[in-house]
Structure 1
Amino acid sequence: MSDITLTINGREVKANRGMTVLEAAQAADIYIPTLCHYPDLEPYGGCRLCLVEIEKMRGLPTACTTPAADGMVVTTGSAAIDSVRHASLELILTTHPCDCLECHRRHRCGPYDVCLRHVAVTDRCVTCPANEDCELQQVVDYVGVHKLRIPRDTRPREIDASNPFFTIDRNRCILCARCVRACQEITCIGTIDMSYRGYAMKVSTFGDLPLIETDCGSCGECMVRCPVGAMFPKDIIRPEREVRTVCTYCGVGCSMYLGVKDGKITGVRGVREGPVNHGRLCVKGRFGIAEFVNHPDRLTTPLIRKNGRFEEASWEEALDLVVARLGKYRGDEVAVISSAKSTNEDNYVMQKLARAVLGTNNVDHCARL
């Protein structure tokens, strides 16, 4: 229930006590640009783009770190704010491939469209894994940076492709530290951190080792929080639609969206409103679902051994054979093994069948992942 009232851009806004100014504005559908903020991460204030003016407060505080207070009067746009935002964003763009952000054709280009611009192939927006899903594009449009007044730093930076599931391209990194904070605050592992200082600063592992040689669990929580294309999955296929479901790898019950195209799963993302996982997934849920569902060796029909060879059969034929064979055994002569990739409901029915119908307590499963 809203228990404080503040004014943002002359509009009265209700907010819950404990919210920041940025959260109060977002809840009221008032846009404040930001690149380092993420809902499930602690306030950081690193990008300096969410600056606001607050009456009776000195300077330009960051909205993401300033607690909302009753009676507060906030202005999200002014000459002073726009000037500082513009300068901050220009500094961010000096180390980021930004030809796509300045191109007059960008709003007419979609993912994988043929690029008609006369720029380097590696800088084209259609080659970026975050094209049309890039928070930096939205911020650039809002702030209005169409040309850099500062010389760009075009020195090539390392690309870490050692992880089997995703790649780190430091040439696109804007040093927002979202990935670092996710690894520290959510997974509590701390595999990556902000290393070095000044122009040499980068996201790296301890000892600057390749990611595959560290204790990284490959959960991808860092990757999904990247606002640009600096961290991206190795297999990128844009889905036609999404289907909400529950992960079948274990009994936790994580909610997820499956991206589907041409009848195949192309990607997985967590459901932020999911009561169990709150949008978070492990390596099996994020990167393993599509692999086993789409695998060419996966059985799609029952097989019955005939004359020493497995042959496809109908479900009726297979079930009749199972009933006939099981009828020869009693009680503890039977054991039932269930699957961790089945739903909790299916596994419950399986153990019920074993105990109530077959009369055995020999029940096991393959959930030792």
Structure 2
Amino acid sequence: MITLKINGFDVEVKEGATIYHAASSIGVKIPTLCYDERLKPHGSCRICVVEVEGARSLMASCSTPAANGMVVHTESEAVVTARKELLDLILANHPLDCLTCEKAGRCTLQDLCYQYDIEESTFDGKRKSYEKDASNEFYTADQTKCILCGKCVYVCSQVQNTDAICFVDRGFETHIGTPFDMGLSESTCVSCGNCVAVCPVGALMPKRKEKFRYWEVEKVKTTCSYCGVGCQMELLVKDGKVVEVEPVKGHSNDGLLCVKGRFSYDFVNHPSRLKKPLVRKNGVLEEVTWDEAYETIVDKIKEIKAADGPDAIAAFSSARGLTEENYLMTKMMRAVIGTNNVDHCARL
């Protein structure tokens, strides 16, 4: 363990921890645009700079290891001035369309500009402009709004292991793109949307079927129903309707989702979706209570088992259920009913 001082408070952390981790351990929030705990620290945005007494310059807290006896200031005059200049430079090449931007209310750049009183850039010159890439079926990429933080690139390569996007060109022409700039539809992108989830600005946005602002929605935490992994996610609900899905950093998925969990939620709102059990009575399917449905199932199983034996009954379980649920199905069939007639769809 090592001990350092942050904003006048003594902090004890394990050796190897960064200044950012040390500050977070005592509730000191250091702003950042590029940091993600799942990624290797790369310090590209520099917003997280702090002042370390005795250092020649300001240090990027997300990539600088804490040292024993270090004295750190996270909001000194030099730090605040540097952050304001960095935000000023970012805005020099970023459209000020917050009134119509879909990311409004959940844009980290917008929040930081508000925090540090940056209304517009003091720099004047050529601005980058790109055509919006809408070739992907589920999300759009607007490089004009990109701040080159690199989070999308690194989550795609280091976490998702797809390597569909990368930094293209150098200098003023640097942008996020696919090989030969052929568009997302021609890349190795699997449409998982994890790049969309980490983007701090409006450069990557899901293709919405409903218009809404993020402050209008209610969040409902749930488990994805598409397979048995148990990925955690939040449903964004407006007026009783699911309008978007966001990943949650649960134990099984660590903030990641696949294309189904992230974008395929329309079935929830589909008018043909069955919401109550149906039992056929006199040749017609009728809605019944769950208790009546269960009673019908139990009665039919007992009737068939008594007439033709347990092997006349079979069970077919689903990959959309949890592993534990599928195990319980086999247990019930073998131990309760007395048959090994159990199968599984194995995939969706």
TM bracket (short chain): 0.7 to 0.9
Give the TM-score of the pair, scaled to structure 2: 0.87
- Letter of the structure 1 residue corresponding to residue 204 of structure 2: M
- For structure 2, list consecutive stretches of 5 or more residues without a partner in the other structure: none
The counterpart of 2:38, out of the listed 14, 37, 40, is 40
- Cα 1:317/1:154, change in 2 over 3 Å: same
Query: What is the aligned partner in structure 1 of residue 71 from structure 2?
Result: 73
SS at match of 1:260: strand
- Cα 1:86/1:316, change in 2 over 3 Å: closer
- Letter of the structure 2 residue corresponding to residue 257 of structure 1: E
Measured in 1, the distance between the counterparts of 2:340 and 2:295 equals 23
Give the TM-score of the pair, scaled to structure 1: 0.83
The counterpart of 1:291, out of the listed 249, 261, 266, is 266
Percent of aligned pairs sharing the same letter? 46
Deviation at 1:253, TM superposition (A): 1.8
Assess if the C-alpha contact under 8 Å between 1:173 and 1:230 holds in 2. yes
Determine if the alignment matches structure 1 residue 350 to structure 2 residue 326.
no
Measured in 2, the distance between the counterparts of 1:245 and 1:276 equals 13
The counterpart of 2:253, out of the listed 277, 283, 286, is 277
Assess if the C-alpha contact under 8 Å between 1:33 and 1:142 holds in 2. no
Measured in 2, the distance between the counterparts of 1:284 and 1:38 equals 23
Deviation at 1:312, TM superposition (A): 4.0
Deviations 1:189-234 (A, max 9, x none): 1100010112211110112122122221111111111111111111
Determine if the alignment matches structure 1 residue 241 to structure 2 residue 214.
no
Query: What is the aligned partner in structure 2 of residue 138 from structure 1?
Result: 111
Determine if the alignment matches structure 1 residue 194 to structure 2 residue 167.
yes
RMSD, aligned CA: 2.5
- Cα 1:79/1:320, change in 2 over 3 Å: closer
The counterpart of 2:62, out of the listed 61, 64, 67, is 64
Measured in 2, the distance between the counterparts of 1:25 and 1:152 equals 37
- Cα 1:7/1:298, change in 2 over 3 Å: same
Query: What is the aligned partner in structure 2 of residue 230 from structure 1?
Result: 203
Measured in 1, the distance between the counterparts of 2:132 and 2:345 equals 38
Query: What is the aligned partner in structure 1 of residue 95 from structure 2?
Result: 97
Determine if the alignment matches structure 1 residue 176 to structure 2 residue 149.
yes
Assess if the C-alpha contact under 8 Å between 2:51 and 2:78 holds in 1. no
Assess if the C-alpha contact under 8 Å between 1:170 and 1:230 holds in 2. yes
- Letter of the structure 2 residue corresponding to residue 46 of structure 1: S
Query: What is the aligned partner in structure 1 of residue 8 from structure 2?
Result: 10
Measured in 2, the distance between the counterparts of 1:293 and 1:254 equals 17
Deviation at 1:318, TM superposition (A): 4.6
SS at match of 1:52: strand
The counterpart of 1:164, out of the listed 137, 140, 148, is 137
Query: What is the aligned partner in structure 2 of residue 330 from structure 1?
Result: 309
- For structure 1, list consecutive stretches of 5 or more residues without a partner in the other structure: 99-122
Measured in 2, the distance between the counterparts of 1:293 and 1:364 equals 27
Query: What is the aligned partner in structure 2 of residue 49 from structure 1?
Result: 47
Determine if the alignment matches structure 1 residue 216 to structure 2 residue 189.
yes
Deviation at 1:321, TM superposition (A): 4.8
